[in-house]
Structure 1
Amino acid sequence: MSHLTKDQLNTLLLGDSLILSTGELSSVDNHPADTGTETFERSRGLSINTSLSEELTEVEAALARMDDGTYGICEASKQEIPYERLEAIPYTRYTVEHAPTSRDTGARPVEEEVMTPPPAGAWEAVENYGSASSLVTPPGQDSEDEDS
């Protein structure tokens, strides 16, 4: 059990609130884009912290494998990991052939479960109304025929 409270841990891990980090007393007088930028920057910072934390965990695990003599051995195939691969990614646990290909689970947004395709003929119905380009008269020509 940690000697720190949940609030203390959240402050240490997540940082100050948006108001404290920007120095603004209120976000009401700011343009929404300013707040959006601050929110984006904060989200990017948290993402970088998460990524670095995961990498640190991998490095610590590699150091533990060095101590127990299993460093440089693929966890999947039990074959030696080539030195060149370890040079590129010193904390890797796999040979190239057995490395996980992606962290993408292939999961689709939940909104897709309730989306319905457009009705048949929807595009054709919209197309009948023309486009902005069909309303533009080429330079030097009147919109009506001059002979009429």
Structure 2
Amino acid sequence: MLVESSEISNGVGNHIADHGSIYLDRMTEQTLDQVDDQLEGEIDAALKRMEDGTYGICEKKRGKRFHTSV
């Protein structure tokens, strides 16, 4: 990533399509990182509910249990 940043900074030897590819790669990586962070948060919350004994209880209606295979 550092090499790519310096390539964009100096602009020497890069075609405009190269800049677009580097930008697209960065945006894709950022998006995937955000999705990973969100999923990690959801997994952590589910594990916490399992520890608390509330996993499978509807968070909106509190008390209606859903069938879980865990």
Structure 1 pair 21/65, CA: closer, same or farther in 2 (3 Å)?
Answer: farther
Give 1:74 deviation, angstroms. Answer: 1.1
Where does residue 65 of structure 2 map in the other structure? 80
Bigger radius of gyration among the two: 1
RMSD over aligned Cα, in angstroms? 2.1
Number of residue pairs aligned between Structure 1 and Structure 2: 67
Once residues 10 and 66 of structure 2 are traced to their aligned partners in structure 1, the CA distance between those partners, rounded to angstroms, is: 55
Structure 1 unmatched ranges of 5 or more: 1-15, 87-148
Once residues 10 and 38 of structure 2 are traced to their aligned partners in structure 1, the CA distance between those partners, rounded to angstroms, is: 34
Identity of aligned residues (%): 34
Structure 1 pair 41/74, CA: closer, same or farther in 2 (3 Å)?
Answer: same
Q: Matched residue of 2:10: which SS?
A: coil
List structure 1 segments (4+ residues) > 3 angstroms apart after TM superposition: none
1:35-50 alignment, distance < 5 Å: 35-50=19-34
Structure 2 unmatched ranges of 5 or more: none
Once residues 50 and 21 of structure 1 are traced to their aligned partners in structure 2, the CA distance between those partners, rounded to angstroms, is: 23
Once residues 21 and 73 of structure 1 are traced to their aligned partners in structure 2, the CA distance between those partners, rounded to angstroms, is: 49
TM-score of the superposed pair, with normalisation by structure 1: 0.40
TM-score of the superposed pair, with normalisation by structure 2: 0.78
